[in-house]
Amino acid sequence: MSRFWSEVTKNIKPYVPGEQPRDKKYIKLNTNESPYPPSPRVIEAINTMNLDELRLYPDPECTDLMNEIIRFYDVNKKQVFVGNGSDEVLAFSFKAFFNAGDTIIYPDITYSFYPVYTKLFSLSPEVVKLEDDFTVNVNAFCSRDNGIIISNPNAPTGIALSLESIEKIVKTNSNKIVIIDEAYIDFGAETAVKLVDLYDNLLVIQTLSKSRSLAGMRVGFAIGHEDLIEGLNRVKNSINSYTLDRMAIVAGAEAFKDKDYFETTVSKTISTRAYTTVELRSLGFEVLESSANFVFATHPKFNAEDIYKSLREAGILVRYFKLDRIDNFLRISIGTDEEMKQLIIELNRILPKID
């Protein structure tokens, strides 16, 4: 521990990202990346960029990308914020809308960056326990006097709230901000973007990492009332005015333009998710109903950590969280049909060998 660290740095427990190993080739089903390459339009646009312009700063307004988001969601410029991945947009949101000591409410099982940011920005967490079936207790988030953040669909469970439930939470907390993190929204849930014109306390955050195959580009955005967007811009421009590089802006804009490719790859993922769920259940796994690009599964007869380790030895990575209530679950990203078939083959092979 460095003697130069601040008290916050000394006491924080950083977020732990999924493995990105280099020791050998793996089937990567551990970080919810898309198994499909970016749109051909993205690749062509990057290949034809004028690389001489990399000596120049990028457009701080991300105008080309902003315009595509505006068109896609039928919102206006003052309602959109673009950042370097949704994690950065989340961080800016915590800084923009909460004071040190404020309470923020989120589920006990959710995206593990929320408690990290809560600690980093000196906030006080109020954790609401998920129901026994891992669904969100909607009423527990209604008529509260604190800010709220909810991942929808939830991570790592994959279970989605209905738009009606989201609206109920937003409507009954009109004096506090409600942040809906929609990283996985395109795989089976209904976006809350259509509510932003009705409620000035709603901020919706999305990413291009999952459904648009741009995890390596780090592109995220938020949509909400113009006062919220102005708050995000104030924070951004006090830290780093140029959040997206030139390639990311181009890639993001082209990804939005190619609607057919987006819909095709999302449809493939949903279909493969259904296949994977059936196959896992046939092996005795209990699989939660997922609206994301992953499934959350447990086996009543076998230890999840043992399965995780055995799969890793077989060259397949899945995510294991050694946390209360979910320490016998595995989160399995949806890959290609071939990758998921290989997963099932390996599970058939290794399960009988686990004591």
- Across residues 345-350, what is the average pLDDT? 96
- The tokens for 245 are 């590089």
Residue 280: its pLDDT value, please? Answer: 98
Which part of the chain is CATH 3.90.1150.10?
7-37+260-353
Give the C-alpha distances (Å, rounded to integers) separating 297 from 119, 137, 209.
29, 21, 23
Model confidence at 284, pLDDT cuts 50, 70, 90, reads very high
Which part of the chain is CATH 3.40.640.10?
49-258
Q: How far is CA 75 from the centre of its chain?
A: 22
Model confidence at 9, pLDDT cuts 50, 70, 90, reads confident
Do residues 187 and 269 make contact, with C-beta atoms less than 8 angstroms apart?
Answer: yes
65-86 pLDDT tens trace: 999 999 999 999 999 999 999 9
- Across residues 265-289, what is the average pLDDT? 98
- Across residues 141-167, what is the average pLDDT? 97
More confident residue, 22 or 139: 139
- Tell me how long the chain is: 355
- Across residues 49-67, what is the average pLDDT? 95
Tokens 């068109």 found at: 71
Per-residue DSSP letter, 19? P
Residue 14: its pLDDT value, please? Answer: 83
Residue 226: its pLDDT value, please? Answer: 97
- Across residues 38-63, what is the average pLDDT? 95
Give the C-alpha distances (Å, rounded to integers) separating 269 from 149, 226, 294.
26, 34, 9
Q: How far is CA 9 from the centre of its chain?
A: 25
Q: What global pTM score does this model have?
A: 0.95
Is 46 a residue whose pLDDT tops 90? yes
Round to whole Å and give the CA distance between 74 and 26.
40
- The tokens for 336 are 């290609």
Is 273 a residue whose pLDDT tops 80? yes
Per-residue DSSP letter, 99? -
Residue 132: its pLDDT value, please? Answer: 96
- Percentage, residues of the chain above pLDDT 70: 99
- Percentage, residues of the chain above pLDDT 90: 91
Is 347 a residue whose pLDDT tops 70? yes
Round to whole Å and give the CA distance between 322 and 317.
16
Does CATH place domain 7-37+260-353 in 2.60.120.10? no
- Parallel, antiparallel or unpaired: strands 124-128 and 103-107: parallel
- The tokens for 45 are 């646009």
Handedness of CA 111, 113, 114, 116 (dihedral sign): positive
Selected from 3.40.50.450, 3.40.50.300, 3.40.640.10, 3.40.50.11610, the CATH number assigned to the domain covering 49-258 reads 3.40.640.10
Could you count the other beta carbons within 10 Å of the beta carbon of residue 186? 22
